[in-house]
Amino acid sequence: MQTAVELAAPTPPPPSGGINTEGLADFLRTFFGPLFLVIVSVVAIFFLFTREITRFVQFILLAIGIGVIFYVPNIIETTAKAIAAALGIDVGN
């Protein structure tokens, strides 16, 4: 029978180099990309049929912003480096 101290002890990391995340971003894009487009389409059609043009335009602009962040590779890293360079911070490539 194990004691509570033995059960609460942290487990050692796996013996290999760690989790392989190569291609994770591509997998997430291919998995969630079509789902994102379907949801955006359904909500946009709903706003059009209910004649809520202002909400439709707001939603489309938000969806485009999220789509750019989601679909463009390295956009967050590139934007962060550009902001840091504009502020005069040395990012060291």
- pLDDT tens digit sequence for 30-51: 888 888 889 988 998 988 888 8
Query: In terms of pLDDT, which residue wins out, 33 or 10?
Result: 33
Q: Indicate if the pLDDT at residue 82 is higher than 70.
A: yes
pTM exceeding the 0.75 threshold for the entire prediction: no
Give me the mean pLDDT over the 9-36 stretch.
Answer: 72
3-state secondary structure of 54: helix
Tokens for 35? 């789902």
Q: Amino acid identity of 19? A: I
3-state secondary structure of 61: helix
Q: Residue 13: which region, alpha, beta or left (left: phi > 0; alpha: psi -120 to 50)?
A: beta
> CA dist 6 to 1, 2, 11, 66, Å?
10, 6, 10, 46
Q: Indicate if the pLDDT at residue 62 is higher than 80.
A: yes
Query: In terms of pLDDT, which residue wins out, 21 or 28?
Result: 28
